Every structure is written in C-alpha cells, then in structure tokens.
Structure 1
C-alpha cells in the first residue's frame, strides 16, 4: 500500500462520515502522485551523483630528488659514409668548375704564391691533393666519380694528404737548374727544411683504448651520464629524499653530498624532466605514523662544466661511479628503472 492510500485511510478514520467519497478519491490521487514524484526525484539524484571516494590520509609516497648529470659531446660526430661521399663529390665538382679559370685569376703572376703553386702542382698532379688525382682535360675528363670503397673517400686518408701537402715545400724534386731560376741563390745552396706542421689530435683517446669508464675524456662524440652504485649495490642516478626545499635546491645538495665539491655543474631549468616510481611489496610505517607505499623520484637535468667526481666523503654510502653513454647505462640499471629513464637520455 502506497503513501497516498495510507494518508486517505487516516483522514477517513479521523473524520468519520463527514468526508464525501469524491473528496476521499481526490485526496488519494493527489497524495499518491506526490509520493511517486518524490521517489523518482530520489532515484534520479542517486543515479547522477556518484559517491565521493575520499583518499585515506594514512598512506603516502616518499618524494626523492634525482639528478641526471651529463657531459655533452666535445667533438663533432664521425661522418656517415653517405655524407663523406657527398662532401668529396662536392669538392671534386668545385675543382672541376674552377679548372677553366687560369691560375692568374687566383694568384698574381711572378709572386711567391704563384711560384709555390707551380712547384707544388708537379708533385700533386692535381690542384687539390686530398681529393685524389683528377685530369680535367682529355678524353677521360668526364670520369670524375669516386667508386665505392675508394681510398679517396676515407677521412683519414684525406687528412694525411693535406698534412703531406702542408709539409712539403715544392722544391724537393726540382732539378738544380730550375731551382736556381725560381729560388734566390743563397737559399738554393741551403738544405731544404720542412715546415713544422701541427698534426690534429686523434679522435680516439687513451681513455677509449683503456675503456676507462671513470674518465670524462672518453667517447668525445657522445653524451656521458653520471651513474653511481648505492649502498645496496644498485646502479642509478644520484638521489635523496626531498626536504624543506625545492627540487632545484635539492639537486644542488644531492650533487654536493654524492660527488663532492670539485665539480663545476649547472642545473638546467626549474622543473623535472621525468620521474620513477617504486612500489614497496608491503607498506612501511614512518615516524609520523603514515603507511609509506613506495617512493617517487623526480629527476632534474644538470651539466658538468669542469672537475671530476670524488666519492671519498660522500654522505649517501655510494660505492662507485661511472660515466656512461646511453646504451651503456641500459646494461647497468634494472629493467624497470631503464624504462622510466630511457626517454630522458639523448641518443648522441
């Protein structure tokens, strides 16, 4: 029996025979409609207002500040074989385009530069020694392409040819009569002395040969990242819990406490470049009475300008450190850690 019928019965019982049948039916219909509308309103509100789930204030995550310290590339990368072939082609094309011009377009006649050109061209057999011999006149003048695997396309071969050209004076193979004509007599009687030419430094250092992962003087073409081994024996970026400080301030502190003060570093930006979340198998009780579910490490980007790391007085119990490229970092850290940090590291 609904609420309208119950109300009608109560009114009928209290009023006795003083209420007519039409009034009783009207009261029954009005109260029944009002009760039904109230039920529909309650159902509508209950369907469209979801219950609010309140987070328990007794659980939390520890917030850590981590530092991705890197040393940027020091030299340009090696050329791709296609790039090397393209640049060589451009140099030979430039030489071919310049051949129709007389040398007096570049050198004034009977000047020291003109005499040096005439002496060296007999040894070079080509205007530019580093691109190989090319005969600009004759039936084979069209054949100026460099074949695949030719020594002329090798970068080291080109460097050696340029050094050889710089170290020669052009008078080594000249006859004595011609030497006397083109060189003043006092100089003709002296022994030809080669000019000291400073050779370029090798792109492969001693640290590369020894695979010294603690040296910053290795893999000069790549970006190196500072990795430390914590007291549990895990390799990771230096990190520590966040105190009453900003992430940038914490990054400065972490670098000083982990690698010493003998490094000139620069924290890039004020916001983290990534994060790593570690969930504990079981929650841990903190001193404040909270249940700690894990830790979240937010990484700040940093660059080293000078100096070197020193772990002798580190305050985190670190055991060792390495300077590694991206693919080397992958082999040292755990898989889950790598999946979180790999997009923060540069390919080169």
Structure 2
C-alpha cells in the first residue's frame, strides 16, 4: 500500500464515514505525487534545478490612468471600384423596372414639370440623370453595361451630372417654349444649385494634424508630447478614485475644459507596462520597478484640445489615424496599444 492510499484511509477513519471514489482518486494522486517528490533520486539534473525567482514583497509597480480619446469618422468611406460598378448596375436595373410606367404617373399632363421632362429626355435619352446615356430596351440593350472603373460609375461624375441637369431646363437657344395653361410662359431662368461639401478638406491639403476637420473617413486619436519628448496618450498617476473619474480628470488637466468628452464604460480596454532601468524607492519604502498604465476609452463630442496652462507638463498634441500613431510612438508602446485602435 502506497503513501497516498494510507493517507486516504486515515482521513476516512477520522471523518467516521466513507470517502467517494473521486475524492479517493484526488487525494491519492496528490499525496502520491508529494511523496514521490520527497524521495531521493539519482538524476543529477533534477537535483540541481535552480529556484524560481519570486518578487520581493518590497517590490511594486506604479499605477497610471491613460485615455484613448478618439474622434469617430464623420462621413462614409469611399466606395471600391467594384462597389461603384455594382451600384451603377443596380441603378440601371431599377430604371428598367420604372420605364413601363407612363410618365403621367409621375407628372400631370402639360404641366411645367411635364414639359421640362420632355425637353430633357430628348437630350439625355434616358430618364435617369446620373447613370449615363444608354437604351434599356431594343436590340442592343444587352450591351449597355459598363466596365469597372468607367467614369459613369464614379460618384463625383454622378454628382456633377445631377447638378448640371438640375441647373438647366433642357430648352436650347431658339426653342420656343410650349404654353402652359395657368402658368407664366416666360423662359425659366437657370438656377444655381448648392453643391455638396468636398470630401477632402483644407486641413487635408495642408496636412494640419492639429485640426479635427481632416481624415473625415477615419477615426482620429489624440496624442500628446510629454516632458520627456515622447508621444503618448494623455495619462497621469492614479489617485484614490475610480478609473472612470480618473480619465475625466486626466482629460481636463491635460487638454483644458474646452472639450466635451464622453468616457465610455468603467473598465480599461488595455494596459502598457513600462519597466524602469533602475528601480525607484518610494516614500513608503517600497521599490517601484516600473509603471502600469491602464487605458480608458473616450470620445470627443465637441471642442478642441488646448494645452495652455496644462498641469501635466505637455508641450504639443496631434490628432492622428492609426497608422500615423505608429509612426510617432515608441515600438514597445505601439505593441501594447495597437489592438485598442480601430482600423478605420
């Protein structure tokens, strides 16, 4: 009988009751392994296993709170050429479905809108304004589709065609306008249509990294330069507070009170561990081996960063996309924060 079995019987006798088979097996394995480890062995490699270094009770890490402050995308992303070509295909397919309806389903006969539609249809040869000229019916209707990359599938070309069509009536010089009952027969003046805002802003052209009006299709993150000249996310030493309240304090002390921000959640989204080359001895007598920064997620709703008079000694700031952040921060820092940042 081995040591494990003897121990199991002694425990069962003390308890005055039987022990289930699973408990017997667990106790037998545990004490048998302990007994085998205590037995001498001739294997020299096992006798000279170096002890595992355990951290001293006097060692510790400083705790800091960091904030990953982001501005979300403001516009939709640009379409892939394949997506643009497929969208154009769907538009033309929808037009084929609408063509069997008489135009009087949409316009009252001999109204100004009806007469204008007739003039324009003679010029563009198709009801749609922004998908190019083609014939949806007839012997050559099968040969009306466009290849990927055609200018008709480009969103900018479509916008220009829509504006061009809206700004004119379809009447050419020398054309006599048909009289419209109950309406003025004077020639309709061309009206200027307000154009949409450009997707590329002035800040993009100037590469103004301090502006929030750039990279409108991407998520931008706030980076600040600390006293050591390193680019990091805003952070400060953790005090007797929650991480959520600490994140709000860090943003206020670093970037001023002119930003309307929202701290998302109460749990950190990641952390960064920095080990000091020479441990620092604190006032309490502990050795501080480094610092661990726990990052909270936040969004900017309005306002702008202002480092004037900040309490953390920051000297500069930038709003950067993910790949731009990689080019500014240290390699070890990037390795810890890259999975916290969105690709778009």
- Distance 1:100-1:62 versus aligned 2 partners, 3 A rule: same
Using the TM superposition, give the Cα deviation of residue 220 of structure 1 relative to its aligned residue in structure 2, in angstroms. 0.6
Query: Is the 8 Å Cα contact of residues 85 and 147 (structure 2) preserved in structure 1?
Result: no
Give yes or no for contact 1:172–1:192 (8 Å, CA) kept in 2. Answer: no
- TM-score of the two chains, using structure 1 as the length reference: 0.81
Structure-2 change in CA distance of 1:208 and 1:339 (3 Å): same
Alignment correspondent of 1:134 = 134
Give secondary structure in 2 for the equivalent of 1:165. helix
* Map of 1:59 onto structure 2: 59
Residue in 2 that maps onto 1:111: 111
Consecutive unaligned residues of structure 2, counting only runs of 5 or more, are 1-30, 40-50
Structure 1 residues 226-245: aligned runs within 5 Å: 226-245=222-241
Q: How much is the aligned-residue C-alpha RMSD, in angstroms?
A: 2.4
Q: Partner of 1:252 in structure 2?
A: 248
Gaps of 5+ in 1: 1-39
Corresponding residue for residue 68 of structure 2:
68
Residue in structure 1 matching 2:209, options 208, 213, 236 = 213
| TM-score of the two chains, using structure 2 as the length reference | 0.82
Aligned to 1:89: 89
Larger helix share, 1 or 2: 1
C-alpha displacement at 1:184, in angstroms? 7.3
Cα distance change on mapping 1:165 and 1:42 into 2, 3 Å: closer
Total equivalences in the alignment: 303
Q: 1:41 to 1:185 in 2, by over 3 A?
A: closer
Does the 8 A contact of 2:112 with 2:180 survive in 1?
Answer: no
274, 291, 313: which one aligns with 2:309: 313
1:52-105 deviation digits (Å, cap 9, x = unpaired): 997532100000000000000111111111111111000011112222332223
Q: Distance between the aligned counterparts of 2:169 and 2:33, measured in 1?
A: 103
Q: 2:195 aligns with which of 196, 199, 203?
A: 199
Alignment partner, residue 277 of structure 1:
273
Once the two structures are superposed, residues 177-229 of structure 1 have per-residue CA deviations (whole angstroms, 9 ceiling, x without a partner) of xx1445879533xx541123111000111100100000000011110000000
Q: How far apart are the structure 1 equivalents of 2:140 and 2:257?
A: 66
Aligned mates of 2:225, 2:197 — CA distance in 1: 34
1:44 match: 35
In 2, are the aligned partners of 1:92 and 1:144 still within 8 Å (CA)? Answer: no
Distance in 2 between residues matched to 1:123 and 1:241, nearest whole Å: 70
Moved more, 92-101 or 298-307: 92-101
CA positional deviation for 1:169: 1.8
On the 8 A contact 2:111/2:180 being kept in 1, the answer is: no
Q: What SS is found at the alignment partner of 2:204?
A: helix
- The 1:124/1:41 distance shift into structure 2, 3 A limit, reads closer
SS at match of 1:87: helix
Aligned in 2, Cα 1:185/1:346: closer, same or farther, shift over 3 Å?
Answer: closer
In the other structure, the counterpart of 2:153 is 153
Q: Which is greater in Rg?
A: 1
